Chains A and B, each alone.
Chain A
Amino acid sequence: MFHYLLKRLAFMGLTILAVSGLTFFLMNIIPGGTAELILKHTVLELEEIPTSEQIAEISSQYNLHDPLYIQFGRWLADALHGDLGSSYILKKPVTYLLLLRLPATIYLALASMTIAIALGVPLGVICAVKENKFTDYLLRIVTLVGVSMPGFWLALLLILLFSVTLKLVPVAGYGGIKYLILPAIALSMHTMAVTLRMVRTGMLEVMNQPYIAFATSKGLPPRYIIIKHALKNALLPTLTVLGLSLGYMLGGAVVIETIFAWPGVGSLLVDAITARDIPLVQGCVLTIVGIFVTINLFVDLIYTYVDPRIRYG
């Protein structure tokens, strides 16, 4: 177990390093662009062309003359000390900006996850119990549309219906639960549909097991069998999918946050990319990938506890 954990942690580190490195070199693919970019965001007026002295000055100030791998090494060394540099446009430390924006993303992701599980699991059970009946077909069609529909289109439709036409909730913004409802629903749809499918499949598989037949023959009430015997086992594969879904949510959050002007890491990333703000892009990518791999490690570890049949070497 300890050996397995060590191996996983090493791979996690490697993944984060590789993604950061790749992003860093890609963002710097246009040579000399960085100094001009910083100038554009700081000293220069609009349309003003930077002089070569200015570029030289900024380059030496930010150590841009060094080869890329040295620059990356420096960034990495700082990052290990918790310093992610400072944003070119917002002129604030990246760590500060990320800590400012992270709660909103976590808030949104947790709300969506709650909706997805609260709807997906019971509906999946209903589908399995009513296999090949009308309810099952209806829910399967909903699921099919749910996985196929782009999250951003659902978001736009929700705004169109609940904000523009019915005027029940605000169009966009950040605040109380009123603001949370629409983005959370839009973000949860895909995960909800996937959860429903997984639970349905899992339940149908488990229901054919001998121990279910045994429980039925003992005369246990069906409700008890479904929840205690079947669902408990059917939920195991769902757990992995939920771990992956959280990654999907962090990705999907980029678009949803942008639509709803939700001040999270996703919309920060889009702003950073549009402005080519390299340290900020680096920071956002590092944060999102870091969260994603950590969650997946935890899901795998939890797995060994809930399913004693699985043991890692």
Chain B
Amino acid sequence: MVKIMKSANYFGWHPGPFPQINWAPYHKILTNRTVTVCLMILGVMVMLSFLAPLITPYDPNAIDLKSSLQSPSVDHPLGTDHLGRDVLSRLLYGAKTSFLISLSVVVFALSLGIILGGAAGYFGGLADEILSRVIDIFLSFPGIIFALALIGALGSSVLNLIIALGLVHWASYARLMRGQVLSVKNNDYVSSARVIGASDRRILIKHILPNALAPVIVLATLDMGHVILSAAALSFLGLGIPPSVPEWGSMLNAGKEFMRTAPYLTIFPGLALTITVVLFSLLGDGFREILDPESEVMGLGAA
């Protein structure tokens, strides 16, 4: 193999070592100001949510009926809910729930999308034909409806919420992945790998994946905001996370009953949700600016 590489270099045919990964998009992402600032704020939020047990003086599930529905005060900066639980503590723990759920959804959807989209693009033929139709179908109806029906069928639990949202989101990643693989697979280094007898698996993992992944992963990051919103919407409807688990959507659901007496129960979780999604939107805009400076067109998610 070394011999072939050398001869290839000799003819000026393929510069640099095998396989050649294009690092430029990753580098550009990390030097963009908007992206860096958003990433930093989000990083702090994630850290706070994971350090919640150390920061907050209250157990997010400690019921204290004597101090229920208290307005914000020094003891409880954001007040207490109808069961006397500290809202700030629940918000911080809720951030962790939201982040973990969205991350799981994205990872699940991303794996499905990469595998199915990659297979469709690489193998082509009948497999591509069938997979592409399936992807088209999944992209041609409002996802939240399907997620609702799925949770209705499977019952409401955190795992089912992740499965439902993952099944709703995978298709857009698969479509992009398919396109990426199609464009990468005709490169000279893939043909040369095939010539020297590399197996399909080796070509896919070593040569195609590293070069096709960047935009797909960016799309997934961009989608985090959408996923957080859909997850919150479903748990707001009481279809996802059990009410005992602190989560922003279900906090809003519980809080709306006390809108007259305790409006802060409605305001704070929604504010947290909006700020998080704004950060992800800005992050997405930054990414889009980097990868596709021509267009400023706004994408529309399933939900």
Contacts and interface: CB of A to CB of B under 8 A. Distances in A.
A265 B145 CA distance: 11
A185 to B, nearest CB: 16
B225 A160 contact: no
Nearest first, the 8 closest Cβ-Cβ pairs linking A and B are A273-B152, A153-B270, A26-B153, A148-B277, A251-B144, A251-B142, A148-B278, A289-B141
Interface stretch (A71-79, A82-90, A100-108, A194-202): A194-202
B270 A15 contact: no
Interface in B125-148: 133, 136-137, 140-146, 148
A164 interface: yes
A151 to B, nearest CB: 8
B101 interface: no
A206 to B, nearest CB: 13
A11 B295 CA distance: 30
B41 to A, nearest CB: 14
B282 interface: yes
B281 A147 contact: yes
Contacts of A250: 142, 145
5 contacts: A30-B153, A156-B256, A157-B270, A250-B145, A293-B141
Interface in B271-288: 273-274, 277-278, 280-282
A251 B145 contact: yes
What does DSSP make chain A's interface, helix, strand, loop or mixed? Answer: helix
Contacts of B277: 148-150
Contacts, number: 146
Interface string A268-290: 01101110100001000100110
A303 to B, nearest CB: 16
Of the candidates B153, B237, B281, the one having the most CB atoms from chain A within 10 angstroms of its own CB is B153
Given A150-B273, A194-B300, A273-B152, A156 B252 contact: yes
A241 B153 CA distance: 31
B120 interface: no
A285 B142 CA distance: 10
B239 interface: yes
Interface stretch (B42-50, B51-59, B213-221, B259-267): B259-267
Interface in B286-303: 295-298, 300, 303
B150 interface: yes
A23 interface: yes
A285 B140 contact: no
A237 B282 CA distance: 22
B266 A156 contact: yes
A247 B142 contact: yes
Given A144-B282, A148-B281, A157-B267, 6 more contacts: A22-B146, A152-B252, A157-B266, A254-B145, A274-B152, A281-B149
A288 B140 CA distance: 12
A293 B140 contact: yes
Contact of A198 (B136, B282, B298): B298
Interface in B86-130: none
A19 interface: yes
B232 interface: yes
B145 A288 contact: yes
What does DSSP make chain B's interface, helix, strand, loop or mixed? Answer: helix
B37 interface: no
B146 A153 contact: no
Nearest to B277: A148
A30 B300 CA distance: 34
Interface of B: 133, 136-137, 140-146, 148-154, 225, 229, 232-233, 236-239, 252, 256, 259-260, 263, 266-267, 270, 273-274, 277-278, 280-282, 295-298, 300, 303
B133 A14 contact: yes
A309 B237 CA distance: 45
A29 interface: yes
A241 B298 CA distance: 9
Of the candidates A11, A244, A247, the one having the most CB atoms from chain B within 10 angstroms of its own CB is A247
Contacts of B233: 150-152, 255
A293 B142 CA distance: 9
B300 A241 contact: yes
A104 B154 CA distance: 29
Contact of B143 (A26, A194, A251): A251
Given A26-B153, A198-B298, A250-B142, A269 B137 contact: no
Contact of A26 (B154, B252, B263): B154
A139 interface: no
A159 B258 CA distance: 12
B137 A273 contact: no
A245 interface: yes
Interface string A14-55: 110011001100111110000000000000000000000000
A264 B263 CA distance: 27
Contacts of A255: 233, 236-237
A252 B151 CA distance: 17
A262 interface: no
Contacts of A27: 149, 152-153
A224 interface: no
A245 B300 contact: yes
Contacts of A148: 225, 274, 277-278, 280-281
